[in-house]
Amino acid sequence: MDISRQQRAPICEALETFKKKRVVPFDVPGHKRGRGNPELVRLLGAQCVSLDVNSMKPLDNLSNPVSVISEAEDLMAEAFGAAHAFLMVGGTTASVQAMVLSVCKAGDKIILPRNVHKSVINALILCGAIPVYVKPEIHPVIGVALGMEIDAVKETIDSNPDAVAVLVNNPTYYGICSDLKSITDYAHEKGLKVLVDEAHGTQLYFGSNLPMAGMRAGADMAAISMHKSGGSLTQSSILLTGKNMNVGHVRQIIGLTQTTSANYLLLSSLDLSRRNLALRGMESFAKVITMAEYARNEINSIGGYYAYGKELIDGKNVYDFDVTKLCVYTKDIGLTGIEIYDLLRDEYDIQIEFGDIGNIMAYISIGDRLQDIERLVGALEDIKRLYAREKSGLAFVDAVIPKVVSSPQYSFYAEKESVPIKEAYGRVAGESVMAYPPGIPILAPGELITKDIVDHILYAKEKGCSLQGTADPEVKSLEVLIK
C-alpha cells in the first residue's frame, strides 16, 4: 500500500473545491443548500446541508465514475488489497445482494450457511437461485450456530457439482470465523466463486492477530460495512472484487438496484474513513482489541455472564474468533439478551447493538472510550444484582435449521394465504420472519414451518424482540403457500 497516495481523499477535495465556487443551484436537491428548509439546517448544520449535492461533472457520477469517484475506488481497492472496490450507498444489504446477483441466475445453486443475513435470502428471491445449506454445529453452551466446517463444505460441494458459488460469513455477528482460506481454495478448485459477507469485518483488513480477511484468502467478492466498524456514515459500504471478476458486469448488476442519486455525504465519509484506516487503522484497531479484551475479562469476573472469546476456537467449527466482538451469553442469570438490551437502554442510558434470546452484543469500534466500557460493565453488574432470576430453558433463534421445500423466489411470489401462526405447522412459508438485529431469518420463504420454529417466533415476540419481514406487523399470522 502506497501511504503517500493514501493521504488523498479525492471526493472530499472535489467537494471543497466545488463549495468555494459558490455555484448557483438550478438542480436537485430542492432544498438548495438548505435555504428552502431552515429546520433541516438547524438540525444538521449548514456545513452538512451545503454538501448535500447532486452528481455533476466536477463531482463525478457513482453510476459511471470516470474522475474523482473512480480515484476514490482505486484508493479503496489498494487499501483493502482488492483488485477493485465499489463505493456503495445502499448499505451492505446492497453490497451483499450485488455479490449474489453477479454470480447467480435463476435455478443456480449457491452453497451457504443458514445463519446468513436477510439480505442474502432477499437476493435469492430477486435472482431465483436455490440455497444449499451447510448444516452448522450449534455451540452446546451459548446456543448459536458455529462456522462452516471445511469437511462439511467439501461434502456439500461434491454433492452439488452444479453449484456456482459458496457464500461465507466472515465473521458472524458473534465473532465466529470459518477456515476461509481452505474453503476458498477448494471452491476454486471445483470452479465455484467465493463470496464473503464481511459486514462485520472491516477490522480484519487493518488489525493485527485477527482472522483472515476475504481478499487475503483469495475470495472473489467481499461486502464490507465501513459504517459498522470503519467509521463512515450509516448506510455507506464497499464491495470488493478479486482479479477474476468482470468489473463492468458487477457495476451493471449494482446499477439494477442502487440509486442514481448517490449521497455525497455518504461518499465523502467513505473516502475519509478509508484514508483514516490506511494511515491509522493498525493503531486504532489495536486499541479496539485492548478495550474489547478488557471488557471481556471484567464482565466474566462479575459471574453469571459469559463474554466468550478465543477459547471457543477448536480449529473446525470455530476456526478462528474475532476478539473485537464483545458478545455476552446471559442465560445463566435467567435473563434473555433482549431483556438486558432493554434494561441497559431504559434504565442505564446505554445503547448496545443487539440482544437476542440468549446473548447481547456491545459493538466496540474506533470511536469507543475506556470510560464507556467501565460504565457498561458497571451496568451489567447492577442488572445482575437487581434483576437476576432462576434460569429456565431458553430457546435460541440462531439455532433453527429449517428444511427447504421450494426456492425462496417461487415461494415469495406464489399464491399465498394468511393463517394464524399456531395453525401454520406443516405449511410452507411464503415470507420471512426475523429478529432485527441481527437480521438472521428464523424462517425464510420456501421453508417448512415446524412447531419448533413457531415456538422460537412466539418466544422471541414474548421477550420483546423486534420481529420483521411479515405482512402482519404483529406477527399473529403467517403467509403460507396455498396447498
Cα 344 to Cα 297, 357, 463, distances in angstroms: 19, 15, 15
Q: pLDDT by residue (tens digit) across 310-321?
A: 999 999 999 999
Distance CA 11, CA 2 (A): 18
Identify the pLDDT of residue 41. 94
Q: What number is the average pLDDT over the span 298-320? A: 97
466-479 pLDDT, tens digit each: 899 999 999 999 99
Q: Say if pTM beats, i.e. exceeds, 0.75.
A: yes
Residue 114: predicted pLDDT: 87
Q: What pLDDT score does 435 carry?
A: 82
With 90 as the cut, is the pLDDT of residue 456 above it? no
pLDDT at 271: 98
Given this model, what pLDDT does residue 130 score? Answer: 95
Torsion of CA 279, 282, 288, 294, to 10 degrees: -150
**pLDDT (0 to 100) of residue 219:** 98
The per-residue pLDDT of the chain, averaged, comes to 94
Q: Is residue 338 over pLDDT 70?
A: yes
Residue 395 pLDDT exceeds 60: no
What pLDDT is stored for residue 206 in this prediction?
95
CA distance 183 to 193: 11
Section 8-19 average pLDDT: 95
Q: What is the pLDDT of residue 136?
A: 82
Per-residue pLDDT at 357 = 84
- How far is the C-alpha of 445 from the C-alpha of 147, rounded, in Å? 23
Helix ranges (H only) for 81-231 are: 91-103, 118-127, 150-159, 180-189, 214-217, 226-229
pLDDT band at 439 (very low <50, low <70, confident <90, very high): confident
pLDDT of residue 400: 61
Nearest 5°: phi and psi at 351?
-105, 110
**pLDDT band at 440; cut points 50, 70, 90:** confident
